[in-house]
Amino acid sequence: MNIYLKNSATGDMPTYQIRAPTTALPQGVVMAASPGSLHSPQQLAEEATRKRELRLMKNREAAKECRRRKKEYVKCLESRVAVLEVQNKKLIEELETLKDICSPKTD
């Protein structure tokens, strides 16, 4: 069943027309299945194997990319740790210097 939207002449509300589907084949004529739609069990098994291998290959590539990104992330973190350690060391030295300057000297 097909539903068609048709604008009415007044333009207020659209009207809908329902039409039954029409077929080009006379009643009782059956369409033949396309050659690609019929598969033997062997073809189905081969297709399943091919799909599985493709899925496994994509999974391996995704895992490889994930490991690469993780390594890059860890290197970035290690670099940040090194920078922060240097900065921390400088701040500790500066703090010690300021403590020496500000502390009362007892002689």
Distance CA 35, CA 42 (A): 16
C-alpha dist (Å) from residue 24 to 31, 34, 97: 11, 18, 96
Per-residue pLDDT at 105: 72
Distance (Å, rounded) from C-alpha 92 to C-alpha 82? 15
Secondary structure tally for the chain: helices H, strands E: 1, 2
pLDDT beyond 90 at 26: no
C-alpha–C-alpha distance, residues 30 and 80, integer Å: 72
pLDDT of 50-103, one tens digit each? 999 999 999 999 999 999 999 999 999 999 999 999 999 999 999 999 999 998
Any idea what the Cα angle at residue 11 is, between residues 9 and 14, rounded to 5°? 90
Q: Where are the beta strands (DSSP E) in the chain?
A: 2-6, 15-19
Q: What is the DSSP letter of 6?
A: E
Higher-pLDDT residue of 25 and 80 is 80
